[in-house]
């Protein structure tokens, strides 16, 4: 198996574990045990980096505690795969920074935010006129559509509800369900904030589930969206800037 295939398989396995914790069909996610039991330690650490902020979903949405050894695993994953330079690739840098922000918040160790510095601003997300390409970037940033984060990407989402709805509709019509679900996460996050939307994210999520949401990572995106939709607006703790 190539390194790429091993990393992809490890990411799917970790996503399935997080999904099980969120759905109640599995135990709480234990990242340290996952890495220790993995046949390929480097691939397991890569999976932690690939899922990024989503590894914290059970801790954010179900308030499960993050264990000290799991904090160490995420930090070790950053050591193995250092964060990108924010000036080179803003989208990846924003995902990395969100992971570091949540790790710091859940662990109580604010120094961990330095594992991944944030890009300077969100200017590249402000213009939604080219809504199709803008939605592609927002779909790539879907792990930020969760509780406990706020920042330039979230401001862009607040100002781009209509483009997000257009992006969801376009993705469903093209049967690009992974992209549709990632954008639905943003709509679910906006609904959780109390926004009035021209498209019902719950109905879209149900449609995608029925017609072909395949793969554990897409299923995890759906589960996170459902959790956000089920929570009353304004019930999360004050979000950190990301």
183 lies in the same domain as 242: yes
Percent of the chain whose pLDDT exceeds 70: 93
68 lies in the same domain as 112: yes
Residue 222's contacts (CB-CB under 8 Å, 6 or more residues apart) are: 181, 184, 205, 208, 209, 213
Q: Tokens at residue 67, please?
A: 């264990």
Out of 91, 120, 149, a domain closes at 120
152 lies in the same domain as 220: yes
Band of the pLDDT at 239, cuts 50, 70, 90? low
Residue 14 has pLDDT above 70, yes or no: yes
- Cα–Cα–Cα angle for 159, 161, 165, rounded to 5 degrees: 155
70 lies in the same domain as 138: no
Q: For residue range 157-179, list pLDDT tens digits in order.
A: 999 999 999 999 999 999 999 99
141 lies in the same domain as 45: no
pLDDT of res. 2: 60
Out of 120, 144, 172, a domain closes at 120
pLDDT of res. 3: 76
237 lies in the same domain as 136: yes
pLDDT of res. 192: 95
150: β partners? 241
Task: Look at 202 and 231; give whichever has higher pLDDT.
Answer: 202
* Averaged confidence pLDDT in the chain: 91
Residue 185 has pLDDT above 90, yes or no: yes
241: β partners? 150
3 lies in the same domain as 25: yes
CA distance 201 to 181: 9
Band of the pLDDT at 153, cuts 50, 70, 90? very high
79 lies in the same domain as 135: no
Which of 15-24, 45-54, 114-123 tops mean pLDDT?
45-54
Neighbours of 185 (CB within 10 A): 28
Number of domains in the chain: 2
Out of 73, 105, 120, a domain closes at 120
Q: What is the mean pLDDT of residues 125-132?
A: 92
Residue 52 has pLDDT above 50, yes or no: yes
pTM: 0.93
Hey, what's the torsion of the CAs at 97, 100, 102, 105, to 10 degrees? Answer: -130
Using H for helix, E for strand and C for coil, what is the string for 112-166? Answer: HHHHCCCCCCCHHHHCCCCHHHHHHHHHHCHHHCCCCEECHHHHHHHCCHHHHHH
Domain that holds residue 148: 123-242
Task: Look at 88 and 208; give whichever has higher pLDDT.
Answer: 208
Residue 221 has pLDDT above 90, yes or no: yes
46 lies in the same domain as 128: no
CA distance 83 to 116: 5
Q: What is the mean pLDDT of residues 223-234?
A: 85
Q: Report the Cα–Cα distance between both ends of the chain, in Å, rounded.
A: 36
Q: For residue range 56-113, list pLDDT tens digits in order.
A: 999 999 998 999 999 999 999 999 999 988 777 889 999 999 999 999 999 999 999 9
pLDDT of res. 241: 63
Quote the distance between the C-alpha of residue 53 and its chain's center: 5
pLDDT of res. 237: 47
Residue 240 has pLDDT above 90, yes or no: no
96 lies in the same domain as 130: no
């Amino acid at each position: 198996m190539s390194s790429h295939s091993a990393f992809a398989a490890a990411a799917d396995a970790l996503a399935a574990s997080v999904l099980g914790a969120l759905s109640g069909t599995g135990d709480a996610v234990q990242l340290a045990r996952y890495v220790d039991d993995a046949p390929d330690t480097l691939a397991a650490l890569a999976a932690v980096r690939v899922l990024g902020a989503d590894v914290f979903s059970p801790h954010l949405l179900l308030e499960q505690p993050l264990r000290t050894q799991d904090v160490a695993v995420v930090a070790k994953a950053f050591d193995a795969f250092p964060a990108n330079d924010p000036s080179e690739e803003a989208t990846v840098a924003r995902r990395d920074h969100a992971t570091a922000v949540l790790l710091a918040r859940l662990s109580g160790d604010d120094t961990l935010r330095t594992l991944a510095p944030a890009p300077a601003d969100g200017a590249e997300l402000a213009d939604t006129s080219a809504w199709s390409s803008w939605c592609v970037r927002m779909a790539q940033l879907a792990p930020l559509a969760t509780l406990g984060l706020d920042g330039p990407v979230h401001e862009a989402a607040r100002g781009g509800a209509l483009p997000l709805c257009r992006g969801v509709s376009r993705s469903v019509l093209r049967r690009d369900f992974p992209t549709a679900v990632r954008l639905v996460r943003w709509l679910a996050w906006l609904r959780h904030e109390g926004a009035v939307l021209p498209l019902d994210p719950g109905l879209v999520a149900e449609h995608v589930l029925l017609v072909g949401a395949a793969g554990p990572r897409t299923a995890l995106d759906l589960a996170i969206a459902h959790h956000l939709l089920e929570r009353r607006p304004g019930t999360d703790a004050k979000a950190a800037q990301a």
